[in-house]
Amino acid sequence: MYDSRKKILVTGGAGFLGSHLCDRLLEQGHEVLCVDNLFTGTKRNIEHLNGHPRFDFLRHDVTLPLFVEIDEIYNLACPASPVHYQHDPVQTTKTSVHGAINILGLAKRLKCRVLQASTSEVYGDPAIHPQTEEYWGNVNPIGPRSCYDEGKRCAETLFFDYQRQHSLQIKVARIFNTYGPRMHHADGRVVSNFIVQALTGESITLYGDGRQTRSFCYVDDLVDGLIRLMNSDPVVTGPINLGNPVEFTMSELAEKVLSITRSSSRPVFHSLPLDDPKQRQPDISKARSVLGWEPRIALDEGLTRTVDYFRDRVTELRGEP
């Protein structure tokens, strides 16, 4: 194992997904440099790694150049929930675009492989279903979600231009809805929203008629997909969809959460937000054939694990002993 040890940079490494990726890379025997400006990431997510001999944390904003010596880069830096990325939309776009330029420049100097954590949001409110990697998307370039959607689309452009122009080894993953422990309790994402609302006895917030769909991938499965993509043959650049192809309506998700939490909360319906996608489901045929990857953790099992995490988190937030 130690003969193949690498020093790996994970930007956004103190976030929900990034912290789980750091854990897995350390388990594999690598050295990990976690970089995060802690806008949405938290030290709480990585506090269990304090003192680990192969883990370092650097507080830094990727919109500024970064000078480090590493062997591989996972670029996960960017707020990923509407509540957070719409809080400062200009900074969100800068994080995706300037951040990509800085990380790609670093990879070019070091001649190292670099993976971009892109998103299913590049498909916008899709006109085809399910979404394949060949679909170019249906994105509003001037709407309230554009800072994230178009920022990520531009980042993909930069990655492929660096590959064509500088022969850089790139990997691009389009990540669909991911959930699990360490999600921010107030990030506005549907899984964390429903669980926190159910555990605190609040009404479950549903938008539209509750029949819009999403496909939910447990974080452990997603991390496995990212690592498989990073370690795949150099000719495999992506973009590759990573997500769970099993589709659920928002009403079905709410029912599952209420059942697992045994909550007496009731759904309350609100108007659908502007540009909110009606359907979201990945076609993962490419991930299956090229990476030998598909999700293994069913939604009921993943939700149970996530509810257990949030039970403790809600108790902490209430200040209960």
**Residue in 85, 148, 162, 218 annotated catalytic:** 148
Look up tokens 């996608």; give the residue. 277
Closest CA to 68 of 79, 56, 78: 56
Which residues face 146 on adjacent strands?
A: none
Phi/psi-derived region of residue 168, left when phi > 0, alpha when psi is between -120 and 50, beta in every other case? beta
Instruction: Render 306-317 in DSSP notation, one character per residue.
Output: HHHHHHHHHHHH
123 is catalytic: no
CA distance 87 to 30: 35
Are the C-beta atoms of 102 and 255 separated by less than 8 Å? no
- Cα torsion angle, 257, 261, 267, 269, sign: negative
Which residues face 118 on adjacent strands?
A: 174
Give the catalytic positions in this structure: 148
